[in-house]
Structure 1
Amino acid sequence: MGPVLCLVIFGLAVTITNAVDFSVECGEDAVTVSWPMGLQRQQDIDPSHVLLGYCTPTSASVKPGGAQAVFQFKDWRCGAEMMALKEQLVWSTDLMYVPDPGTDEFFLKRVVCVYQRADGWTPRTFRPVMETFGTGELVFSMSLMNDDFSGPALTSVYQLGGFIPISASVDQQAHQPLLLFLEECVASTEAQLGPDAQTYPFINNKGCFVDSRKTMSSFQPRQRGSEIRLYLQAFAFALGKEVYIHCKLVAWDENGLNAGKKACHDKNGSWELLDDPAQSSLCNCCDYGGDSGCNSRKRRALGGNGMTREAVIGPLVIEREGLRSL
Structure 2
Amino acid sequence: MPSTSLVPSIPMDDWSFQRPSNLFFLGDIIKFEASVNLFNHGPLRVVVDSCVATPLPDVQAQPRYSFIENHGCFVDGKSTGSSSYFLPQTRTDQLQFQLEAFLFQQGDHPSIYITCILKATLASTPTDAQHKSCSFYSNG
Please indicate the TM-score interval, normalised by the length of the shorter structure.
0.7 to 0.9
Distance 1:149 1:175 in 2: 26
Distance 1:267 1:187 in 2: 20
Residues paired across the two proteins, number: 134
Distance 2:72 2:51 in 1: 9
* 1:209-249 CA distance string (max 9 Å, x none): 00122211111122311111111111232676121110000
* 1:144 to partner: Cα distance: 1.6
Distance 1:189 1:267 in 2: 26
TM alignment of 1:198-277, pairs within 5 A = 198-213=63-78, 214-237=81-104, 241-254=110-123, 255-267=125-137, 269=139
Q: Which residue of 2 aligns with 1:63?
A: none
The letter for the 2-side match of 1:217 is: S
**Structure 2-normalised TM-score?**
0.85
Residue 58 of structure 2 aligns to a residue in which SS? coil
Distance 1:264 1:217 in 2: 11
1:168 matched to 2:37: no
The letter for the 2-side match of 1:227 is: Q
The letter for the 1-side match of 2:119 is: V
Distance 2:138 2:53 in 1: 25
More helix by share: 1
More strand by share: 1
Distance 1:183 1:175 in 2: 22
Mapped contact 2:30–2:100 kept (Cα < 8 A): yes
165, 184, 198: which one aligns with 2:50: 184
Residue 212 of structure 1 aligns to a residue in which SS? helix
In our comparison, the structure showing a higher alpha carbon Rg is 1
* 1:179-206 CA distance string (max 9 Å, x none): 1010000111221323x43211110011
Question: Which segments of 5 or more consecutive residues in structure 2 lack a partner in the other structure?
Answer: none
Mapped contact 1:190–1:198 kept (Cα < 8 A): no
TM-align CA RMSD: 1.9
Question: Which segments of 5 or more consecutive residues in structure 1 lack a partner in the other structure?
Answer: 1-133, 270-326
Mapped contact 1:137–1:175 kept (Cα < 8 A): no
> How high is the sequence identity, in percent, across the aligned residues?
31
Runs of 4+ with deviation above 3 angstroms: none
The letter for the 1-side match of 2:116 is: C
